[in-house]
Amino acid sequence: MTRILFVCTGNICRSPMAEFILKALVKARGLQDSFYIESAAVSDEEYGNPIYPPARRCLHQHGVWFDPSKTARTVVPEDYERFDRIICMDSSNIRWIRYIIPSDPEKKIHLMMSYTGSGRDVADPWYTGDFERAFQDILTACEAMLDVRK
């Protein structure tokens, strides 16, 4: 089983979107038994808060189921042992995660868009307001991630 942790700044927009997008793709491909998927934050500023309403609306508009009881949590050092991949939405998240998980000897920490062959960030819709663009970037990267697995 591949265990994936998606990470963003607050765990209320991009990383929960990625969590539920990948869960939907995995389910559509009949791979539920092959993956365990969660999301978390590098910051504790949103700890305990639900998925941000515009992110929820975006998932709903695309027919992506999400757990309405999902709340933000913070990455902890133990996550390094619990997960096979820790996938960050942007380079700032990678810098911040190095304070929580200072060493990556198994090369588990990745940038989300690296799965598409790009080194760019998934723009933060908290600041841009463009949840659709974030959704499309995340969807493209998740599909690429699954295609690499074949």
Q: Over the stretch 48-78, which tens digit does the pLDDT of each residue have?
A: 999 999 999 999 999 999 999 999 999 999 9
How many angstroms separate the Cα of 111 from the Cα of each of 6, 42, 91, 94, 136?
10, 14, 7, 7, 16
What torsion, rounded to 10 degrees, do the Cα atoms 1, 90, 12, 87 define? 10
CB atoms within 10 A of CB 69: 7
29 annotated active-site = no
pLDDT band at 147 (very low <50, low <70, confident <90, very high): confident
pLDDT at 150 over 50: no
Rounded to whole angstroms, the Cα distance separating 110 from 107 reads 8
pLDDT at 136 over 90: yes
Query: Among 47, 37, 57, 38, which Cα is nearest to 10's?
Result: 47
- Say which of 8, 13, 88, 142 is annotated catalytic: 8
- Say which of 79, 90, 121, 124 is annotated catalytic: 124
Rounded to whole angstroms, the Cα distance separating 100 from 123 reads 22
124 annotated active-site = yes
Rounded to whole angstroms, the Cα distance separating 121 from 123 reads 6
Helix (H, G, I), strand (E, B) or coil at 49: coil
73 annotated active-site = no
Output the pLDDT for position 93.
Answer: 98
- Say which of 13, 14, 58, 121 is annotated catalytic: 14
pLDDT at 148 over 80: no
pLDDT band at 149 (very low <50, low <70, confident <90, very high): low
